[in-house]
Amino acid sequence: MPGSTLVRAAIFTAGALVGGGVATALSNRRSQQTIVAVPSPNGPRPVIEVGPSGRTHITQPEASLSLVPQVLKYGNPGPIADPLVRKAYVAAYDRRLRHPAWTAEHLTLASLGKSPLSPPADPTAAGDRGKSTFIEDDSLPVPFRARLQDYFKSGYDRGHMVPAADAKFSQEAMDETFLLSNIAPQVGDGFNRHYWAYLEDWCRRLTGNFSDVYVFTVPLYLPRLETDGKWRVTHEVIGSPPNVAVPTHFAKVVLAAKPSSPSTPNILELSAGAFVLPNAVIPDDTPLENFSMPVEAVERAAGLTLFSDAVKASAKHICKTTSCQLVIRRFDDAQKRPNMRRAVSAPN
């Protein structure tokens, strides 16, 4: 199996699906004994449990589980995170907050159209941001969609979780980044149009040093210590009626891989980093490392498992294997000066 495939398998792992009449074998490493449980066709199915030490064992289900088909006879209320599979990214949409719960991308020089070994098949088919418009996602149930009118005069930008600049390989891919299911409210001047854009650009530039770059973007709602000594989560909701939640913070979590040496292309060196930024104005000269957090802290705050424990344990901190220096480019200021328009283009 190629090295990059191993990384993908480590990141995007799926649970085993156990059905009636299917034998489940669990191997004990110490004794090398195998326990096989075959559920009766008409009896209750066994439950595979994982103990605190990580060891697995099989038990019979609790009797209360028999209540499930009775109580939920007319439907399971959820919660449901709608899976979204696009040309340039995958994501999960949070119906309650009406923005993505997370987005995930796999960036390479080829996917960004910058690889001399894999030039675009049809350069004329590349995405043009000027042809894309923000639209509501009609694949989502109407009551749970973010709407264009929610952002109107809200004071917030429609912030891309997956940047349009990451999906330039086709117009369809770029258009999908403008779906409101890929958008969350962000402070505009000083954040979405500036520091956040620099961070997105930094993620793309990682492809110059790494063969594969995986990027997770996660909106967060973090508590703040108030004057009475208590911690509270307070956030705005925009729209009329109030419809879309405004995250207090955003996380960018990256996992980058490259061959450890030319002679061992299938042995990968992994680097990882997590950065949690407040949804607020951030001065351009603020070091990115000021926002560095353990990946586990983001996972706990979001209720997600982004990488396996094995990947997190083997990965070096990305700021120790490459530069975490942002490139500061005032894209909006350049657009105000006609003589600069050709030299600098918008990042997302």
According to the model, what pLDDT value does residue 87 have?
A: 97
- Min mean pLDDT across 1-10, 57-66, 330-339 is at 1-10
Q: DSSP class of residue 142? A: G
Beta bridge partners of 159: 184
Residue type at 54 in one-letter notation: G
Tell me which residue of 165, 212, 97, 121 sits closest to 329, measured CA to CA. 165
Cβ neighbours of residue 269 closer than 8 Å, sequence gap 6 or more = 257, 258, 259, 260, 316, 321
Residue type at 218 in one-letter notation: V
Both tokens assigned to 218: 């996660």
According to the model, what pLDDT value does residue 344 have?
A: 38
Residue of 57, 99, 106, 160 marked catalytic: 160
| Cβ(182)–Cβ(176) below 8 Å | yes
pLDDT band at 273 (very low <50, low <70, confident <90, very high): very high
Average pLDDT rounded to a whole number, residues 301-316: 96
Burial class (CB in 10 A: 0-12, 13-18, 19+), 91: buried
Task: State the Cα angle at 54 between 52 and 59, rounded to 5°.
Answer: 80
Q: Look at residue 46 and tell me whether its pLDDT is greater than 50.
A: yes
Task: State the Cα angle at 129 between 123 and 135, rounded to 5°.
Answer: 125
Average pLDDT rounded to a whole number, residues 197-202: 98
SS3 state at 73: coil
Both tokens assigned to 157: 């930008």
According to the model, what pLDDT value does residue 111 have?
A: 94
160 is catalytic: yes
Q: Look at residue 340 and tell me whether its pLDDT is greater than 50.
A: no
Reported as a single tens digit per residue, the pLDDT across 143-181 is 999 999 999 999 999 999 999 999 999 999 999 999 999
Q: Look at residue 84 and tell me whether its pLDDT is greater than 60.
A: yes
Report the C-alpha gap between 188 and 283 in whole angstroms.
13
